[in-house]
Homo-oligomer: A and B are copies of this chain.
């Protein structure tokens, strides 16, 4: 059930730009998807889109109001409700990836039912997925794997999609987390899928395709992260990738949320990820590294990338700073 586009981006009363990072992701990667933004008094975020009332957005053709702002604890504040109810009444669906679900708010559920609209809680799977069958399927797939969580895997896959489409290649980003789903309107919230069906869910969102088509699969977690490694392995075995990109943030001292575990090196990740991927696809190869150098100066980043590239004998780039061209070349 993909989200209907175009969107109205709901920024609410975002206290700063960072709180609106879902909206920013939509703006960065699907700039054509939104007709405008809706802001409440005090909002400190701005996507540079036309500010619209709900009525104006409906008149401009908006089909889904996307909550592009995170709130403390994932709650849905009462201050947001009038706009959300108005949107539902005006014929829009509402989509969110918050911890607290839209469907659990009686006023929103009632307004959606009355108007025949859909509340999309993208944190929760909407389909029943099959158990993976591990069979080879046509079409090519690339998976971003990381030394840690939150080190740039989604961004890397989106940058690859943009570059490949720019070159006229057939390529689709495949979202496996809530932000990716809101950005592209479709995908699977893998962390909320029941264990037995994880790999099957990934097979379902990366189905058989044209021989020259590439699925660019958003990675999750890390093989080295005790909390989420099982999710990562299900992605590798369900995705059956032909190509891996290794993602890394070089300044982090420990794994995210696990202060007693240090971040592994790319040299440790590379053979382990490749060995596991080759269980399901013997032809899989590592094509390069995507380094998140946001915490480094331009000179530091250049030095780190050059050193890593020489050591691993692989293209190493920061897709945000330098684009994904060299990774696409490596395909």
A residues with a Cβ closer than 8 A to B are 131-136, 190-196, 198-200, 223-224, 226-235, 237-238, 240, 257-258, 260-261, 272, 275-276, 279-280
Contacts and interface: CB of A to CB of B under 8 A. Distances in A.
In this complex, which of A132, A135, A196 has the most chain B Cβ atoms within 10 angstroms of its Cβ?
A196
A233 B226 CA distance: 9
A131 B279 CA distance: 28
Nearest to A275: B272
B234 A229 contact: yes
Contacts of A132: 226-227
A262 B231 CA distance: 24
A230 B226 contact: no
A228 B230 CA distance: 9
B230 A195 contact: yes
B196 A231 contact: yes
Contacts of A257: 131, 133
Given A195-B190, A195-B191, A258-B134, A233 B229 contact: yes
Given A233-B233, A260-B135, A226 B280 contact: yes
A212 to B, nearest CB: 24
A125 to B, nearest CB: 9
B238 A234 contact: no
Nearest 4 CB-CB pairings of A with B: A230-B234, A134-B226, A230-B230, A191-B196
Contacts of A237: 226-227, 229-230
Contacts of A238: 226
A199 B227 contact: yes
A276 B225 CA distance: 11
Given A191-B196, A195-B234, A227-B237, 11 more contacts: A136-B260, A192-B194, A194-B195, A198-B231, A199-B228, A223-B276, A226-B279, A229-B237, A229-B279, A230-B230, A232-B233
Nearest to A130: B227
Given A135-B260, A224-B279, A230-B230, A192 B196 contact: yes
A8 to B, nearest CB: 30
